[in-house]
Structure 1
Amino acid sequence: MYTHILVPVDGSPEAENAVGHAVHLADAVDAAIHALYVAGAPSGDESKDRAVAERGRRALEDVRERAEEHGLTVDTTVADGEPAATIAEYADTTNADLIVMGTHGRDGVDRLLNGSVAERVGRHVSIPVMTIRLGDGEQSVKSPLQAQRIAREKLELAGHDDAVIESPSHQRTAWVVHATDERGEYNVHINSASGRAKIVQLG
């Protein structure tokens, strides 16, 4: 079974979705997560390069946070270079036995002409490349009961097993669930479209 799972990130929704799959799989098989952000060569535009670096930092921090919530070993790396070749090289360096990547899921002539980074990576490596289309595994949260269940699971993963959960409120694109325990107060923000949850400590 897998012991080292590589998940390349770029800050896109497709990559974020793939991270969720990688984390859940790693949790199931007790594998380590290796997250890679390929920044590419410097553009010569200082402000643009800073924005690229910040995007990578946020994407990698998100992976670290999500992996650590599950008690997983995780390392994060920024590298320069052509994406497919750099990902393949990093897979070899980390002894990865699986790569999980997001994809737009394009079909037809556009896909054949342009290909995708995931397809090019597959031609560079001998290990499996799992491609995840945006929407795979996502769950639409339509009811307060669903929101409460997700909030409870999120809080338990974070060690708040005894938290008292209040009725969820819906705010545009997210559910907010207030909770308290002996350590403090929290809001659990749950994306209505994807079901992704984040705990925010209050005070």
Structure 2
Amino acid sequence: MYKKILVPLDGSKTAEGVLPHAKALAYSEGAEIALLNVAANPAQEFAFEDPAIAGYTVAEDEKAANKYMTKICDELRASGFKVSCHLREGGPATTILKIAEELKVDIIAMSTHGRNWPASWLIGSVAERVVRHSKVPVMMIRAGDS
């Protein structure tokens, strides 16, 4: 039923909380895990007076994201999982939804901070936007439930 599982990661332990669940699903279904990291948006350069500093910050963020994703992908491969790694730039929710369509995934598995209604309404939730607009099922794991 599930042949490709999209797992968005942001480098946090909260986001990684979904990995045991994604691995169990991938194992039971013989599915590929497609990891996604949405890197900093280059538009942040406008937040700095010196574009050279902003460019350096973006480059460092991209280098750290690449190193992080390589580590997670290598660990999954060493455990016998079929895995692909994807790094993109842009707004997190929009990018997750776009990549889900591009990769033709069957399900998106992601963690949520589990904020209550007022906090998620005020702050805005990437997970909530993904759930509302996804064309495929979304498996949500509340942080700390793994």
TM over 0.5: yes
Q: Which sections of structure 1, spanning at least 5 residues, go unmatched?
A: 138-203
Contact 1:118–1:129 under 8 Å retained in 2: no
Letter aligned with residue 20 of structure 2: G
- 1:94 and 2:103 are equivalent in the alignment: yes
2:18 equivalent in structure 1: 18
Partner Cα separation in structure 1 for residue 79 and residue 28 of structure 2: 10
Which one has a bigger Cα radius of gyration?
Answer: 1
Structure 1 residue 114, shift from structure 2 partner: 2.4
Partner Cα separation in structure 2 for residue 59 and residue 19 of structure 1: 14
Bigger helix fraction: 2
2:2 equivalent in structure 1: 2
Aligned to 1:38, the other structure's residue is in SS state: strand
Aligned to 2:7, the other structure's residue is in SS state: strand
Structure 1 residue 62, shift from structure 2 partner: 3.1
RMSD: 1.6
Letter aligned with residue 12 of structure 1: S
Letter aligned with residue 73 of structure 1: K
1:22-63 Cα shifts (integer Å, max 9, x gaps): 122211211001111111321331332133213311331233
Letter aligned with residue 111 of structure 2: G
Change (3 A) 1:58 1:15: farther
Map 1:154-165 onto structure 2 (within 5 A).
Answer: none
1:69-111 Cα shifts (integer Å, max 9, x gaps): 3322111111111111111010011111111111111013112
Partner Cα separation in structure 2 for residue 51 and residue 10 of structure 1: 15
Q: Which sections of structure 2, spanning at least 5 residues, go unmatched?
A: 46-53
1:111 equivalent in structure 2: 120
TM-score under structure 1 length normalisation = 0.62
Moved segments of 4+, more than 6 Å? none
